[in-house]
Amino acid sequence: MSGSKHSNKTIEIGESLKRKGLSVTDSRKKIMQLFMQQKGALSHSDIEKKAGTAFDRVTIYRTLQTFLDKGIIHAIPSADASVRYALCNDDCAPGHHEHQHIHFFCRQCHQTFCLDDIVTPSIGLPRGYQPQEVDVLVKGVCKNCTTAKKS
């Protein structure tokens, strides 16, 4: 049973990459699978650790850049000035990301989460300024860590 689930997931990943106009490579499939298994966002080093020795640093970087360009993942600035990545929703397209949600960084487990149900507040800018992207990062303790503390 688990073998058929695995092959269905692999087919789904391949189809998803093809829909975005990408050829299906081992590195793209593996990195996409890592994103699909992750509840929070991933950094380049997270992917490096999880992928093991299968792919070098440059392959991971290029794959992430391609996924960003094609609207598969979006970049999230993190609390430590690095960048994390999370899967995009279906509204994203190549060169155009539609993310109107905030991100949450847990100071305890150091994970970053997309809070899709909380819309980014509108920001009134002075005349002549045109916003192109708004990033909101809230820092605190996530629900998993809060629950673990109570136990």
> Widest CA span of the chain, in angstroms?
60
Does residue 93 have a pLDDT over 70?
Answer: no
Mean pLDDT over each residue of the chain, to the nearest integer: 82
As a whole number of angstroms, the distance between CA 2 and CA 149 comes to 34
As a whole number of angstroms, the distance between CA 104 and CA 79 comes to 10
Q: CB within 8 A of 73, min separation 6: which ones?
A: 35, 64, 67, 85, 86, 87, 88
pTM of the model: 0.74
Ramachandran assignment for 30, one of left (phi > 0), alpha (psi -120 to 50 degrees), beta (any other): alpha
Q: What's the pLDDT score for residue 147?
A: 83
Q: Mind listing the domains of the chain with CATH numbers?
A: 2-150 (1.10.10.10)
Ranking 2-16, 35-49, 133-147 by mean pLDDT, the lowest is: 2-16
